[in-house]
Structure 1
Amino acid sequence: MSEDFSKLGFAKTYIYPALALFLIPIACLFFYSYVQSVYDQQFLDAAIADIRTDPQLKQDEKEGLIAFYTTYPPSSLIVSSIPTAAAWREIQDTQYLVEQYSLAWAVRICWACILGGIAAFVLTGIGVILSLQSQSMQYVSLLVGWHLLRLFCTLEVIAQGLLVFSLSFWIPAFFFNIYIVKILLLFAILALGAIGVVIAAIFKRPSDDFVVQGKILTREMAPQLWYDLELLSSKMQTAPPDHVIAGIDDNFFVTQLPIKVQDKNEEVQTLTGRSLFVSLSLLKKLPGQEADAVLLHELAHFSGNDTLYSQRIAPLLARYDHFLEGLYEGGLSRPVFYFAVMFRALYEISLGSLSRQREFRADRLAASGTSPHDMAHALLRITAYSQYRAELEKEFFDAEEAHEQVNLSERIDGGFLAYTHSFVDKHNVGELATAHPFDSHPPLQQRLEAIGFRATPDAMRNALYDESIGTWFQKIESAEMLERDQWNAYEEQFRQFHENILAYRYIPSNEQEQELVEKFFPPVTHTAAKDRPVAFDFEKVTYEDWDGPIYYREIESMTLENEWGARLDLVVKRNGKNKTIKLPLSKKSNEQQEVMSTLESYYGRAASAIAHQQSLNDPEPTLPPGDTFSMET
């Protein structure tokens, strides 16, 4: 969000695209108004000619009729309630009436879309302004806004779908006096598809599971920790948490959302109620009073009902984000998507504003319960730890060789104190922020200033110079074992993930690299036409009717053809020239899918490896020709 504000500005990023909401209605309004004016003029010219040559009419009657039709053209008479209009409609041809009705209703739909869009912009602005007042108003405005916007957006998609479909009839009919059934069917399918996707997105329940890696600390496992938490809760005038989860993430947080806790054995337990997550690794680094300050900060979120409103708002945001996906995927609903995403972006401003207010309030209460220095020192230590851990993880991840082991926790414990000596000098510490799974925290400088801590470089260095083991860590029985077990599981997952990534980086130059790539992309054989085998490995595809294998680096494009039996036409580039090589496919759809999915997967790996190797030597790498590959039909 901040990047969008700074580089493009909020208007260019969100509001200007949202104006696409009016694109189809305004364009259709001009077109249908023009068609009506042409038809009105044609009718008027014919009517005047008939009236002037009618011998049965007196001159004053002729002038009266001409004045009437000039005042009330067909576009007006078709929807007018005056008795003369009803009489006029009774004598008109049915097809002519249908055409006039369709034009009149199209114009009405255009105006409804335009006026509805203007009203939606106004109501959206009012809702966002109200949401800035308080947490309760924020929830109410989002709740009302979600129900109104999904109704408006759905009706808007239906209306704009009808307009686009009507254009597919009226443009050929008006300009060429024909209509094309295939075009009508095409746009009908597009419109119905967009409407169907959007309606489905309203009722489909999004997956909102929040999984936490950690261990649930019962009172039996950590009686001293629970006792002291109750004392801190009493000081903060709130009830203690229902659950405490101990993990190795680089943050602390509280929530009232249902969470799934997964332990080292991947067993999952769902918790409801008020949960507190504590980082074992950070508790080890935080001296007693600093840990008190951090925990008081988290408990302050309970006392301020912050977690209660987050619990109410989070499901609404999840459903709204899922609805946005439906609008985006609907195709014809894309203009409505840009309007809906603008509201989401505006609401994000409100969420960010009140979130920062909550953080400042929790900081103040924690500082008053301990001291500003304790709170400030804790924030500095947590920020330094997170930064150091992120740098080490990046170092491990960027390595071009597989790790026999990832000794991340050992590196952190052994090097953190030395890192703190240079942390203040090497980083713009004031612009950093502590990590959090739900909220964005204010920059560290603002938080320190808000509690009255003058963050000079010397003061920050002194705050970080402490290597004693935190007292709260010692309040957890078997804390060392709990932390070690979780680090072992995390480091092994990290090692395996890094191996998988290396498979997308390597163009094997030795047996070890080839062995690693083939671990994830082993040689496989599938069935092509007439039960004949087609073989794949990490660098090529082989088929017995070809002169030789096709290497993925040669592939320019691929097209699936079904005219004379299913086949893949592979366009390869050799010796500077393109050549099409055919791969006939099995008649069985599952065998066709196996061949195509394997080719896409193995080709994608090769293209990624080529791009990565180029990036190592080229600061501005260009993708290999095959990276434009797509499966076409």
Structure 2
Amino acid sequence: MVATQQTAGLSTSGRAVQAVALLLGFYLLAAAIVLGLLGLDLALYLGSDHLRPALFKIWALTAVVIYPVLRVVFLTRRPKGGESGGLLVGRAEQPALWARVDRLAERTGVRGPAEIRLTAEVNAAVREDTRLLGLIPGKRHLEIGVPLLIGLTEAELDAVLAHEFGHYSNQDVRLAGITVAGRTAIVHTIGTLHERADRQQAEDAAELRAEAEDRLARGKQPKDRSAGDGGVQRVLARLFTRYARLYFRVSESVGRRQEYAADRAAAEIAGRDATASALRKIPTLVAAQNFYLGAYATLGWDAGLLPAPGQVYGGFAKLLADPGRRAELAAMGLALPEREADPYDSHPPIAQRVAAIEALPADGRGTEGAGPALDVLHEPERTLAELEAVTLVPEAATKRRVDWPELVAESHLAHAREAAQPILRALTGSGLPGTVDALLDAVDRGEGRQLAERLPRSAAATAATGRAAREFLRPALRAGTARLVVLALAESGLARWELSWSAAPALVLPEGMAETFDAALDAVVADTPDTAPLRSLLVAAGLAPVAG
């Protein structure tokens, strides 16, 4: 046992030395460029019997190279890792969550966090405010994404938290202070150099354009010249990028070993099956939340609408509770994609991590803690509403909060109005009212093609003539007619969109209309147009004709 601990300690120290050496190497590379150029300048000066004009040119070139190295690498302030976003929750506000975290920290044998923050991401993370390149410990922080609380069971949440505490027990968070510092320095330097090079390239291009315009104004042909690619700053960025590849490959290989060790710690604390299940779920939760935010939570953003307080994030639970969605996500979890490990990624492929956990001996704890993890929160709806207040963009405060059925109905009505704009503009541009009756009357008068020609068309449709032109115009007029009819029905309260958590919101037409609607639209755009079937459907639905 003593030998094992010593080996682990030596391994940790070795990794720390390696990370420090690579971080110092980054600065040494920059210093070598500066000192090497200065040394070359000095050698040229000492080898010359007097100050030649060529020396001044060489020194000027040296300054052009040295300045961005000194400016960007050594003198530019880098953003410090400050307070994370999210909702800070104290022991009084969330006693059950804190009790769970304390218990897991004790079982893992580590000092627990000083603060817990809830975030909106599908992620959990630990962070420690270390000093002296991570060698002196400090205040610990734990971040828990509420989508994990919504999508995981209590046992799976324990596995995720035990994984994070496993990093503490391996002193990984201290090492992270070293590796993250190096990563931040290198990424910042490369990004700044590229940014300066882009700016220089844009300025060169602007000068060339101005010069070309001036020559054209004087009746001369512009010179055949192109802007450079950013000069010496681009060259330096590429040089540091080469070093970055080495640094990331070495430092992230350390990260992968840390992940496997933290997974094993999670399996010991929370159980093999719960740990494997949590690993399988996390990628599917990422995909599901991205879909949910786009298709549901922000559905009414452009219409000035948001779900009721607490439901921007809380509605994710409704999606996951749908039987069809559950089956879909379960299938995704069973079919984890196989891919080769990225040498620059600190996390091994999820399939490899799951395989490593499932290869462990069964421990008989597969069914423990099957309740939803969200139950650990006190007053979850209020807590989620508070999280929205601190994480949503300021513009969210201007949105009207509505329940889900109203959100779907009003959002799709707004979309329907937007979709009908081309046909409405075609009607009003022809001097006609923007109504279904005006459209059908125009078709009866043989003016359907003229209306269709006012609708947006592709280049091929615009260039077509004769029969081909009519065939291009037919679907455009049909689609415009359908959109105008749906809008008229919806604005009259005769059609609506219904919420579904297993599929896209469905348009519900008046009773008996759906079966013959397509055929009636086809008749409107036939070679011999006939608007009677569509007019009859609209009257039967209760949409009274509008006088033109």
**TM-score normalized with structure 1 length:** 0.45
Alignment correspondent of 1:221 = 93
Matched, 1:295 2:161: yes
Post-superposition offset of 1:153: 2.6
Alignment correspondent of 1:312 = 178
Aligned match of 2:187 in 321, 332, 337?
Answer: 321
- Rounded to whole Å, the distance in 2 between the matches of 1:281 and 1:212 is 17
Cα 1:414/1:305, change in 2 over 3 Å:
same
1:345-369 CA deviation, whole Å, 9 max, x = no partner? 1111122211111111111111111
- Rounded to whole Å, the distance in 2 between the matches of 1:401 and 1:245 is 27
- Rounded to whole Å, the distance in 1 between the matches of 2:174 and 2:92 is 28
- Rounded to whole Å, the distance in 1 between the matches of 2:149 and 2:256 is 24
The one of the two structures with greater contact order (alpha-carbon pairs below 8 A, sep at least 6) is 2
SS in 2 for 1:136: helix
| Aligned residue type for 1:414 | K
Pairs within 5 Å for 1:385-396: 385-395=285-295
Alignment correspondent of 2:243 = 343
Alignment correspondent of 2:358 = 452
Matched, 1:208 2:109: no
- Rounded to whole Å, the distance in 2 between the matches of 1:162 and 1:509 is 74
- Rounded to whole Å, the distance in 2 between the matches of 1:397 and 1:187 is 61
Alignment correspondent of 2:317 = 413
Post-superposition offset of 1:336: 4.3
Alignment correspondent of 2:524 = none
1:530-553 CA deviation, whole Å, 9 max, x = no partner? xxxxxxxxxxxxxxxxxxxxxxxx
Aligned match of 1:146 in 26, 36, 53?
Answer: 26
Aligned match of 2:110 in 218, 226, 238?
Answer: 238
- Rounded to whole Å, the distance in 1 between the matches of 2:234 and 2:40 is 11
Identity %: 20
| Aligned residue type for 2:182 | L
| Aligned residue type for 2:153 | P
- Rounded to whole Å, the distance in 1 between the matches of 2:60 and 2:300 is 49
Alignment correspondent of 2:271 = 371
Alignment correspondent of 1:247 = 119
- Rounded to whole Å, the distance in 1 between the matches of 2:268 and 2:81 is 36
| Aligned residue type for 1:482 | T
1:198-222 CA deviation, whole Å, 9 max, x = no partner? 1122132211334522222222223
The answer to whether the Cα contact below 8 Å between 2:128 and 2:141 also exists between their aligned partners in 1 is yes
SS in 2 for 1:253: strand
| Aligned residue type for 2:372 | I
| Aligned residue type for 2:264 | R
The answer to whether the Cα contact below 8 Å between 2:336 and 2:351 also exists between their aligned partners in 1 is yes
The answer to whether the Cα contact below 8 Å between 1:252 and 1:277 also exists between their aligned partners in 2 is yes
SS in 1 for 2:378: coil
1:257-301 CA deviation, whole Å, 9 max, x = no partner? 48xxxxxxxxxxxx9611111123322332221111111111111
Q: Which moved more, 1:348-357 or 1:376-385?
A: 376-385
| Aligned residue type for 2:187 | D
- Rounded to whole Å, the distance in 2 between the matches of 1:401 and 1:291 is 32
Alignment correspondent of 1:558 = none
The answer to whether the Cα contact below 8 Å between 1:245 and 1:276 also exists between their aligned partners in 2 is yes
- Rounded to whole Å, the distance in 2 between the matches of 1:426 and 1:226 is 32
Cα 1:219/1:398, change in 2 over 3 Å:
closer
Aligned match of 1:486 in 362, 373, 387?
Answer: 387
SS in 1 for 2:110: coil
Pairs within 5 Å for 1:562-601: none
| Aligned residue type for 1:420 | R
Pairs within 5 Å for 1:520-539: none
Matched, 1:381 2:281: yes
| Aligned residue type for 2:33 | C
SS in 2 for 1:430: coil
- Rounded to whole Å, the distance in 1 between the matches of 2:375 and 2:185 is 42
The answer to whether the Cα contact below 8 Å between 1:363 and 1:451 also exists between their aligned partners in 2 is yes
Q: Which runs of 5+ in 1 are unaligned?
A: 1-129, 166-178, 259-270, 455-462, 499-506, 512-633
Alignment correspondent of 1:356 = 256
The answer to whether the Cα contact below 8 Å between 1:379 and 1:444 also exists between their aligned partners in 2 is yes
Alignment correspondent of 1:469 = 372
Matched, 1:155 2:35: yes
- Rounded to whole Å, the distance in 2 between the matches of 1:379 and 1:403 is 37
Number of aligned residue pairs: 335
- Rounded to whole Å, the distance in 1 between the matches of 2:333 and 2:89 is 36
The answer to whether the Cα contact below 8 Å between 2:314 and 2:384 also exists between their aligned partners in 1 is no
SS in 2 for 1:239: coil
Cα 1:236/1:339, change in 2 over 3 Å:
same
| Aligned residue type for 1:308 | R
- Rounded to whole Å, the distance in 2 between the matches of 1:195 and 1:246 is 45
Post-superposition offset of 1:154: 2.4
| Aligned residue type for 2:316 | I
Cα 1:294/1:350, change in 2 over 3 Å:
same
Post-superposition offset of 1:309: 0.9
The answer to whether the Cα contact below 8 Å between 1:253 and 1:278 also exists between their aligned partners in 2 is yes
SS in 1 for 2:123: coil
- Rounded to whole Å, the distance in 2 between the matches of 1:139 and 1:424 is 40
- Rounded to whole Å, the distance in 2 between the matches of 1:446 and 1:154 is 44
- Rounded to whole Å, the distance in 2 between the matches of 1:451 and 1:429 is 16
SS in 2 for 1:365: helix
| Aligned residue type for 2:326 | T
Cα 1:157/1:509, change in 2 over 3 Å:
farther
Cα 1:238/1:327, change in 2 over 3 Å:
same
SS in 1 for 2:260: helix
The answer to whether the Cα contact below 8 Å between 2:120 and 2:313 also exists between their aligned partners in 1 is no
The answer to whether the Cα contact below 8 Å between 2:154 and 2:370 also exists between their aligned partners in 1 is no
Alignment correspondent of 1:126 = none
1:362-390 CA deviation, whole Å, 9 max, x = no partner? 11111111211101112223222211111
Post-superposition offset of 1:401: 8.1
Post-superposition offset of 1:237: 1.3
Post-superposition offset of 1:146: 2.7
1:303-348 CA deviation, whole Å, 9 max, x = no partner? 1100011123322332333343565547335444433221111111
Post-superposition offset of 1:158: 4.7
| Aligned residue type for 1:355 | G
Post-superposition offset of 1:254: 0.3
Give the strand-richer structure, 1 or 2. Answer: 1
Alignment correspondent of 1:277 = 143
- Rounded to whole Å, the distance in 2 between the matches of 1:131 and 1:161 is 44
The answer to whether the Cα contact below 8 Å between 2:91 and 2:98 also exists between their aligned partners in 1 is yes
| Aligned residue type for 1:446 | Q
- Rounded to whole Å, the distance in 1 between the matches of 2:139 and 2:77 is 22
The answer to whether the Cα contact below 8 Å between 1:383 and 1:432 also exists between their aligned partners in 2 is no
Cα 1:426/1:284, change in 2 over 3 Å:
closer
Cα 1:432/1:440, change in 2 over 3 Å:
farther
- Rounded to whole Å, the distance in 2 between the matches of 1:497 and 1:200 is 43
The answer to whether the Cα contact below 8 Å between 1:256 and 1:273 also exists between their aligned partners in 2 is yes
Cα 1:133/1:288, change in 2 over 3 Å:
same
Post-superposition offset of 1:185: 7.4
SS in 2 for 1:207: coil
The answer to whether the Cα contact below 8 Å between 2:162 and 2:269 also exists between their aligned partners in 1 is yes
| Aligned residue type for 1:387 | A
